[in-house]
Structure 1
Amino acid sequence: MRNNQPVTQREFEFPDDATLMSTTDAESYVTYANAAFIQVSGFSPEEIEGQPHNVVRHPDMPKEAFADMWATLKGGEPWTALVKNRRKNGDHYWVRSNTVPVMRNGQPQGYMSVRTKASRDEIAAAEALYKEFREGRAGNRHFHKGLIVRKGLAGFTSLFQTMSVRWRLNVSLLALAPVVVGAGWACGLQSGPLAAFAAVTVGAATAAGLWLDAQIVRPLMQLRDQALRVATGESRTGEQMNRVDEIGMTLRTINQLGLMFRWLVDDVSEQVHNVQRASNEIAQGNNDLSARTEQAASSVQQTAASMAEMTATVSSNAETAVQAN
């Protein structure tokens, strides 16, 4: 991992409302950085563009964080976490980094990162945590899509951070089934009726699981997929859902955001094209004006030469006339 030096351990404060944005190609070389990123990083545009993005990496960042970032991005998903970056002079600044792959035809063509200022509480917690990672004292904690989760026997404490909605619903139904059967047994059901009651309960739980999967899980997966397409710039059309409940209206909102993003990109591209065309027209006009100016200057020179020749002729004629007299 790149080790940028020196470091001063002086924190650089930047405005709370600043948004630091940059893009890279598929090899993580910087292709664009906005003015806020340039100003906060301390590099000039010429020093940052075309360079590997890890030029701002601070050596205090644990390597596990970036390994997790790349694993997440390579999977086509966004990554969010607190990051300590290094300025050109060795100072540092903390940001909440939100990075997404820019996808085309299912393949990452580059990456875009948008950073905002982290809070003091977040920074204090991250400083202590990242130090433990650097010193090998993280124990059973590791990064997972930007989150800190536990593994091994302690992994159950992070279960609800990573468990899918499908499993949450299924586990809830499975846990409910023995409770219902136990209630039947407590009410005095004999073994035969109790077995039938248990079978009906399990069947009902299975049917409920299938219904919830169709009504909640799969629509949520559709929401997630469409949101990812919008975030990664791959969406050109909106997904449709024949419902207007919370899930249906959320999908409509995501579609609207995608359309607004598409309109913004297209409009900015058109404005840039218009500016380029106007610049080319001005440049062509300047070239035409220069050519006409040179032509006029040449004509003036020719006229001056003709006048000089005419003056010489008149002078010669005058001298001849004087001599004749």
Structure 2
Amino acid sequence: MMNLGVLSKKTLIVSCLLLFSYFSGFFTLLIPLASFALASWIGLKNASKLGVVFCLFIVAAFSLFLPEQFSDVGNFVLPGFLLLEHFSRFSVFLLGLFYFIFFFSAGLILFQSLQKSGDLNTWFLSSFVKLLLLLALFFVLFVSLSPDSLYNSSVQHLESLLAKIEAAESASSSGAAMSQLFGNKHEFSVQFLHYFPALFAIFCLFTLVVNTLLSRRLFKHLPAFACIKPFSAFRLPDQFIWLLIISGLAFFAGKYIVGATFLEIVALNLAITAFALYVLQGLAVALFFITRVNSVFLRTAAMIMLVIFFVQVSLFLFLIGIFDVWLNIRERKVNTKQNL
């Protein structure tokens, strides 16, 4: 049993904020930061036990308040309640529970990996792999336990979302591309669903980046952070470039040689995930140079511009990340400065 003596005032406050964030949907992305804080204050084992208590509370909340039908939703607020339109009540319950466990576990995984790793790259990449494995476990459990067909229900839900967007856009003149999209809602939904694994991987990546940066900033007093360099030092292993090369070759073979759609989909998911990771490495290189700007105003302006136009410059960041594999830009810059 968990020792209630470890539940200090700040632990109780963070626990309440964590649950409020989950049920309200505000700042959900910061739930891992809260669970990381709990693990650092009361220990990983006690934080895990507290997470079980939260899960039991969530199960009770869903059992008591989740409506039976989508028509009964009204102004109801719980994660995933809009899915009642195409998923059963039990499926929505599972999704809502997994949703919480994912975010809460992300913080615990970050804390555990921090204790075991000795550098930034090992800490981040090991956390990323563990979080992907957790998502894979959730997928297997959902498919095993849910009475719904995950594929068919997801396609129906995506078609419904597109229909609502089409209805909202009907008042204004939509372009040819949007008209074509609305005219092929089923085909687009099926294609979009094929790339969900890569989208989930990118979501895991984004969640970890945000909480890695914030945890290092807010808990830098932890002894484990003494050997963790700033995020601008992040670098993928050089061998990782082979994932991008092999996925590209597999896509070419699946599409033009073998004619295997499954191989094509798997290859594209791997390629998109690798693309996101090299964008992250390019971002680290960009931050390396931005943080070395002497002017606080210019440094802040560059950071803001990078955030605002991140999507537009993502391809450029990807190319920087690829070039960094062979050029090792940051090490060259440091060595050049030392030799001057």
Give the alignment's TM-score, normalised by structure 1. 0.26
Q: Which structure features the higher share of strand residues?
A: 1
Give the alignment's TM-score, normalised by structure 2. 0.26
Q: Which structure features the higher share of helix residues?
A: 2
Higher Rg:
1
